């Protein structure tokens, strides 16, 4: 039964895949090629990003940041293409991401 419909990062999705199911094994194998941090670190990073309390950051932005781990302002601006972050906001996000790279 679906309880909630929200975007999560690939890192967070990895923990929901069944270990014994064939599909779960295949999906985990696929996702491993792209994720850069553990699901636990992904959740921790989401908490820190959302903890900034910035109105411009929504749940989807946080998911993309976790998946991509942007290191530069240019990379971060690709995630926030519909809003513009000021220099201070960008700096705060990149400082948090740097802890997980």
Domain ranges of the chain: 1-101
Helix axes 39-51, 59-68, angle to 10 degrees: 130
Residues in the chain: 101
CB of 45 closer than 8 Å to CB of 39: no
Q: Record the pTM.
A: 0.79
Kindly report, residue by residue over 9-60, the tens digit of the pLDDT. Answer: 877 777 777 666 666 677 777 877 888 888 889 999 999 999 999 999 998 9
Residue 83: pLDDT above 70? Answer: yes
Classify burial at 88, counting beta carbons within 10 Å of its beta carbon; exposed 0-12, middle 13-18, buried 19 or more. Answer: exposed
Whether domain 1-101 has CATH 2.30.30:
no
- pLDDT recorded at residue 81: 85
């Amino acid at each position: 039964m679906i309880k909630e419909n929200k975007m999560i990062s690939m890192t967070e999705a990895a923990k929901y895949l069944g270990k014994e199911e064939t599909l779960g094994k295949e999906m985990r194998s696929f996702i491993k090629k792209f994720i850069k941090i553990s699901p636990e670190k992904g959740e921790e990073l989401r908490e820190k990003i959302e903890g900034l309390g910035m109105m411009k950051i929504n749940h989807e932005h946080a998911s993309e940041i976790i998946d991509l781990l942007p290191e530069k302002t240019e990379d971060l601006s690709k995630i926030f293409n519909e809003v513009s972050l000021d220099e201070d906001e960008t700096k705060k996000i990149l400082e948090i991401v740097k802890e997980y790279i």
